[in-house]
């Protein structure tokens, strides 16, 4: 059965529930006697809340409570490194524009919203430090204590100095790349429905790792982790925004405890822009040196990334890109974090690698131009077979084949090397390419498999399905391991009470779960065999365990008839046989590095009169090991490329001097829509990576977004002769 199911195009098993509205997302939970929350956000970027007039709000119809720093809910800060480093409403400090400063609860959502509109805040304002250049080294030293940039030199391999290496190079490129704030904009806004029963909290809230959210909420609420359960069988997108929980979850839980009634707290789309972490601005400088025939002699990648004073994601764009991608004798990486008074940041859609690859892969294109060399040839000339600075090879690397197959599918050989070499009517047409790379770690993962007497099997794990198709992949993996048809498998996901599955983080859920589900299947089969040989009513009673074989849902031993597991469980009046299986986490195996690879080829059209850039063709070929579900793998890669189109052409949120992020809705923060997306040609190689795991499936999700923005920018250069190093590439920059 293995060959038929794994790798096939399998539709999502939860698709019908989703499209018929039966799937319950967090905010869909409605409980008896529930109160509704609505948060009030700060309108200054830094300072102190002098007073908060809540009298009118408290008198408003339906309002049951108003919490604020003057009337706080009891909350501890989240564990260190889990989002923000302070608890909401505990003190009067305003740390950023758009910070939660009050929570209004009422009998309906509308009453809570109207009550919140009546809250009046008065502040003592300070000037926030919000712009990246102002905090960067070389700028005027920030006056505020603790504002000096943190430096982290991660890696420097090779000879004497980079300067020496560069001066010995025939061609050098030094280029600085900038991009502003970006947002995950998951379709489902952040929402929590919190209900307490007997001192135990159940929180219906979207999470990329429910057990960790439960732990984090327990810390904030000051109770034992075992008393918190986080439930989210359906999640409307994560993209990193649900790796950690934000204040709305803790506030809903604390308010529900205080009021002794269930609380629903749903952030508005606008509130999500600041009450939830975003991707901070970053500036990167890549310096490359090469010989006349394109052999790299030096690679340097420096970055200055926003690190909010309130906590955030330490963006390290070079570590899994420039530090690993190309063979070079000299390599320097310097990744700095710049503390600023801005809303929290968090991991977003290949958090390090998407910005990092934009910088490196654009600089590589610039180097190819200066050498008058084909950019694909330049990549091949510097192909790494071991991690630079080491002799460590990869578990499985077929990037060369990605380049070759991609070039063939795209028709790269027909390319005009010279910019502005092709015009069709109003359109300047250009092509570009870039490499994709993404670390392929394995998280510790567990799953439980249970055989039922009705002939079905349940596979259960805390891992949540962010919309990626994890539920279907888990069912496929169980069906494959148990040699059963999909219709007999029920998959339960997204619940911290289930066995500790892999976090849906770092494109590693499926790759991590595959070995765990195999282990669970083996253990559950052993439990079934044990029932068969020990129960007096079993036809296999008295046999030795190693005499009994499991195949296709049947147990058999020499000289006796095969018996189905449902017949066995019925006959022995056993309701089920189950076991938990686990697989270890690993980021490499000592001898090998783990990464997934790919190559992007892109054609863009830039309007000669308006400067409007349009992506017209895109081919991506990836090497991700074994593919579990062809349908959702394609969706993942298409989604990643679409993120790349957003990154390259549309997505940015300007930071005003006040610390206010200018855009707070999808009319101003632009993401790609259908009309922006051509038919995407997505293809994968078939090289199971059995060093990574015996099953051989590595991660897919974020790979597609790494390098895709660079491929687009490189194609824009080829079309127009204009090199844009400040994202997004908007029409005004091309005129
Ligand atoms: Mo993802 S940015 O690893 O949640």
What's the pLDDT score for residue 707? 98
The rounded distance, in Å, linking the Cα atoms of 167 and 195 is: 65
What's the pLDDT score for residue 671? 97
The arithmetic mean of pLDDT across residues 701-723, rounded, is: 98
Q: Identify which of 184, 185, 505, 636 to mutate to test ligand 1's pocket (most ligand atoms within 8 A of the CB).
A: 505
Q: Is the CB of 238 under 6 A from ligand 1?
A: yes
| Both tokens assigned to 230 | 């986080």
Q: Is the CB of 506 under 6 A from ligand 1?
A: yes
C-alpha closest to that of 102 among 293, 265, 340:
265
The rounded distance, in Å, linking the Cα atoms of 509 and 208 is: 10
The arithmetic mean of pLDDT across residues 475-503, rounded, is: 97
What's the pLDDT score for residue 422? 97
Distance 487 CA to ligand 1 centre (A): 31
Positions annotated as catalytic residues are 702
Q: Which ligand 1 atom sits nearest the alpha carbon of residue 348?
A: 2
Q: Which ligand 1 atom sits nearest the alpha carbon of residue 349?
A: 2
The rounded distance, in Å, linking the Cα atoms of 293 and 373 is: 8
Nearest Cα residue to atom 3 of ligand 1: 506
Q: Identify which of 185, 241, 441, 506 to mutate to test ligand 1's pocket (most ligand atoms within 8 A of the CB).
A: 506
Distance 90 CA to ligand 1 centre (A): 29
Residue 147 has pLDDT above 60, yes or no: no
Is residue 576 helix, strand or coil? strand
Averaged confidence pLDDT in the chain: 95
Q: How confident is the model at residue 160 (pLDDT cuts 50, 70, 90)?
A: low
Is 603 or 163 the better-scoring residue by pLDDT? 603
Distance 443 CA to ligand 1 centre (A): 13
> Which of 138-142, 704-708, 709-713 is predicted with the least confidence, judged by mean pLDDT?
138-142
Residue 148 has pLDDT above 50, yes or no: no
C-alpha closest to that of 144 among 157, 134, 156:
134
The rounded distance, in Å, linking the Cα atoms of 51 and 60 is: 19
| Both tokens assigned to 603 | 């054609």
| C-alpha distances in Å from residue 381, one per residue of 62, 164, 175, 290, 530 | 70, 22, 21, 11, 58
Residue 394 has pLDDT above 70, yes or no: yes
Beta strands in 249-329 (DSSP E): 263-266, 282-290, 296-308
The architecture of the domain spanning 358-441+589-734 is 2-Layer Sandwich (3.30)
The rounded distance, in Å, linking the Cα atoms of 669 and 254 is: 32
Q: Is the CB of 352 under 6 A from ligand 1?
A: no
Q: Is the CB of 349 under 6 A from ligand 1?
A: yes
8, burial (CB in 10 Å: exposed 0-12, middle 13-18, buried 19+): middle
Is residue 592 helix, strand or coil? coil
Residue 83 has pLDDT above 60, yes or no: yes
The arithmetic mean of pLDDT across residues 372-394, rounded, is: 96
The rounded distance, in Å, linking the Cα atoms of 271 and 12 is: 31
The arithmetic mean of pLDDT across residues 297-310, rounded, is: 94
- 89 near 100, Cβ under 8 Å? yes
The arithmetic mean of pLDDT across residues 60-75, rounded, is: 97
The residues, any chain, with a CB within 8 Å of residue 495's CB and separated by 6 or more, are 210, 229, 230, 231, 232, 233, 460, 462
Residue 682 has pLDDT above 70, yes or no: yes
| Both tokens assigned to 720 | 């127009």
Q: Is the CB of 183 under 6 A from ligand 1?
A: no
The arithmetic mean of pLDDT across residues 535-543, rounded, is: 97
| pLDDT more than 90, % of the chain | 91
Given the DSSP bridges, would you call strands 613-623 and 228-231 parallel, antiparallel or unpaired? unpaired
The rounded distance, in Å, linking the Cα atoms of 128 and 131 is: 9
Q: How confident is the model at residue 143 (pLDDT cuts 50, 70, 90)?
A: very low
Nearest Cα residue to atom 1 of ligand 1: 240
Kindly report, as residue ranges, where domains of CATH 3.30.365.10 are found in the chain. 33-126+190-266, 358-441+589-734, 443-583
What's the pLDDT score for residue 590? 85
Distance 506 CA to ligand 1 centre (A): 5
- 276 near 355, Cβ under 8 Å? no
Q: Is the CB of 208 under 6 A from ligand 1?
A: yes
Q: Is the CB of 348 under 6 A from ligand 1?
A: yes
What's the pLDDT score for residue 137? 60
What is the enclosing helix (H) or strand (E) of 256?
A: helix 247-259
Q: How confident is the model at residue 134 (pLDDT cuts 50, 70, 90)?
A: low
Residue 57 has pLDDT above 60, yes or no: yes
C-alpha closest to that of 445 among 431, 460, 434, 465:
460
Distance of CA 208 to the CA centre of its chain: 9
| Both tokens assigned to 468 | 């990626």
Q: Is the CB of 505 under 6 A from ligand 1?
A: yes
Distance 625 CA to ligand 1 centre (A): 20
Buried b (16+ CB within 10 A) or exposed e, 88-126: bbeebebbbbbbbbbbbbbbebebbebbbebbebebeee
Is 586 or 140 the better-scoring residue by pLDDT? 586
Q: How confident is the model at residue 159 (pLDDT cuts 50, 70, 90)?
A: very low
Residue 634 has pLDDT above 50, yes or no: yes
- Contacts of 379-385 with C-beta under 8 Å, sequence gap 24+, read 379/326, 379/403, 379/433, 379/435, 381/293, 381/294, 381/295, 382/294, 382/295, 382/296, 382/326, 382/327, 382/328, 383/326, 383/327, 384/324, 384/325, 384/326, 384/327, 385/327
The rounded distance, in Å, linking the Cα atoms of 651 and 665 is: 12
Is residue 407 helix, strand or coil? helix
Q: How confident is the model at residue 587 (pLDDT cuts 50, 70, 90)?
A: confident
Q: Is the CB of 347 under 6 A from ligand 1?
A: yes
Nearest Cα residue to atom 4 of ligand 1: 240
| Both tokens assigned to 342 | 């801005």
Distance 243 CA to ligand 1 centre (A): 7
Q: Is the CB of 441 under 6 A from ligand 1?
A: no
C-alpha closest to that of 355 among 315, 402, 307:
315
Is residue 23 helix, strand or coil? coil
Distance 701 CA to ligand 1 centre (A): 9
Distance 348 CA to ligand 1 centre (A): 6
| pLDDT more than 70, % of the chain | 96
Q: Which ligand 1 atom sits nearest the alpha carbon of residue 505?
A: 3
Q: Which residue has the tokens 């619940």?
A: 495
CATH number of the 33-126+190-266 domain: 3.30.365.10
The rounded distance, in Å, linking the Cα atoms of 706 and 227 is: 40
Q: Is the CB of 493 under 6 A from ligand 1?
A: no
What's the pLDDT score for residue 236? 97
Q: Which residue has the tokens 């075992």?
A: 226
The rounded distance, in Å, linking the Cα atoms of 116 and 40 is: 6
Q: Identify which of 349, 443, 705 to mutate to test ligand 1's pocket (most ligand atoms within 8 A of the CB).
A: 349
What's the pLDDT score for residue 1? 44
Q: Is the CB of 244 under 6 A from ligand 1?
A: no
CA dihedral 14, 16, 17, 19 (to 10 degrees): 120
Q: What is the 3-state secondary structure (H, E, C) of 602-641?
A: EEEEEECCCCCEEEEEEEEEEECECCCCHHHHHHHHHHHH
Residue 157 has pLDDT above 60, yes or no: no
Q: Which residue has the tokens 């970006």?
A: 182
Phi then psi dihedrals of residue 409, to 5 deg: -65, -35
Distance 221 CA to ligand 1 centre (A): 26
Q: Is the CB of 235 under 6 A from ligand 1?
A: no
Cα torsion angle, 710, 714, 719, 724, sign: positive
Right CATH number for 443-583 from 3.30.420.40, 3.40.50.10490, 3.30.365.10, 1.10.287.110? 3.30.365.10
């Amino acid at each position: 059965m293995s060959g038929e199911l794994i790798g096939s195009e399998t539709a999502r098993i939860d698709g019908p529930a989703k499209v018929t509205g039966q799937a319950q997302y967090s905010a869909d939970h409605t409980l008896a006697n529930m109160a509704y929350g609505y948060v009030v956000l700060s309108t200054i970027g830094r300072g102190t809340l002098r007073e908060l007039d809540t009298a009118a709000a408290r008198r408003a119809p339906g309002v049951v409570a108003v919490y604020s720093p003057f009337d706080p809910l009891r909350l501890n800060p989240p564990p260190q490194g889990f989002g923000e480093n302070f608890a909401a409403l505990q003190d009067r400090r305003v740390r950023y524009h758009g910070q939660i400063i009050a929570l209004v609860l009422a009998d309906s959502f509308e009453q809570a919203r109207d009550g919140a509109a009546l809250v009046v805040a008065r502040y003592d304002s300070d000037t926030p430090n919000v712009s990246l250049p102002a905090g960067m080294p070389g700028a005027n030293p920030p006056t505020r204590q603790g504002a000096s940039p943190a430096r982290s030199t991660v890696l420097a391999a090779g000879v004497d100095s980079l300067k020496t290496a560069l001066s010995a190079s025939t061609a050098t490129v030094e280029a600085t790349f900038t991009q502003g704030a970006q947002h995950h904009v998951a379709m489902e806004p952040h929402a929590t429905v919190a209900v307490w029963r007997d001192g135990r909290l159940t929180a219906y809230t979207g999470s990329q790792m429910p057990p960790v959210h439960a732990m984090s909420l327990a810390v904030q609420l000051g109770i034992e982790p075992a008393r918190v359960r986080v439930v989210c069988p359906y999640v409307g997108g994560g993209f990193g925004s649900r790796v950690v929980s934000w204040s709305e979850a803790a506030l809903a839980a604390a308010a529900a405890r205080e009021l002794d009634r269930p609380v629903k707290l749903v952030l508005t789309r606008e509130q999500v822009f600041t009450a939830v972490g975003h991707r901070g601005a970053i500036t990167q400088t890549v310096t490359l040196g090469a010989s006349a025939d394109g052999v790299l002699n030096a690679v340097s990648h420096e970055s200055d990334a926003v690190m909010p004073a309130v906590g955030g994601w330490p963006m390290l764009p070079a570590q899994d890109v420039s530090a690993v991608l190309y063979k070079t004798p000299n390599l320097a990486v310097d990744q700095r974090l710049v503390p600023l008074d801005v809303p929290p940041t968090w991991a977003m859609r290949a958090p390090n690698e998407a910005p990092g690859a934009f910088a490196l892969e654009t600089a590589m294109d610039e180097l190819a131009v200066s050498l008058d060399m084909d950019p694909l040839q330049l990549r091949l000339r510097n192909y790494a077979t071991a991690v630079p600075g080491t002799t460590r090879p990869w578990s499985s690397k077929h990037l060369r084949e990605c380049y070759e197959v991609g070039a063939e599918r795209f028709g790269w050989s027909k390319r005009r090397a010279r910019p502005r070499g092709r015009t069709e009517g109003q359109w300047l047409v250009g092509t570009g390419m870039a490499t994709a790379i993404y670390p392929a770690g394995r998280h510790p993962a567990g799953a439980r498999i249970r055989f039922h007497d009705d002939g079905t099997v349940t596979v259960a794990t805390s891992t949540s399905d962010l919309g990626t198709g994890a539920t279907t992949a888990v069912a496929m993996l169980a069906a494959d391991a148990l040699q059963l048809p999909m219709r007999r498998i029920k998959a339960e996901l997204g619940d911290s009470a289930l066995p500790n599955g892999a976090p849906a983080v770092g494109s590693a859920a499926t790759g991590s779960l595959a070995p765990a589900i195999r282990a669970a299947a083996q253990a559950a089969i052993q439990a079934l065999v044990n029932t068969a040989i020990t129960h007096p009513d079993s036809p296999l009673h008295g046999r030795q365990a190693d005499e009994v074989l499991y195949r296709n849902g049947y147990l058999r031993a020499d000289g006796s008839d095969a018996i189905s597991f449902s017949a066995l469980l019925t006959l022995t009046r056993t309701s089920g046989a189950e076991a938990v299986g686990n697989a270890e986490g690993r980021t490499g195996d000592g001898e090998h590095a783990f990464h997934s690879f790919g190559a992007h080829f892109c054609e863009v059209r830039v309007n000669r009169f308006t400067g409007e850039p349009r992506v017209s063709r895109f081919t991506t070929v990836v090497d991700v090991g074994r593919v579990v579900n062809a349908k959702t793998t394609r969706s993942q890669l298409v989604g990643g490329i679409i993120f790349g189109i957003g990154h390259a052409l549309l997505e940015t949120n300007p930071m005003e001097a006040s610390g206010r992020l200018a855009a707070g809705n999808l009319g101003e923060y632009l993401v790609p829509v259908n009309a922006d997306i051509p038919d995407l040609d997505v293809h994968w190689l078939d090289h199971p990576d059995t060093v990574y795991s015996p099953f051989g499936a590595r991660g897919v999700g974020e790979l597609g977004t790494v390098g895709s923005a660079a491929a687009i920018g490189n194609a824009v250069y080829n079309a127009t002769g204009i090199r844009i190093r400040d994202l997004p590439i908007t029409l005004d920059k091309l005129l």
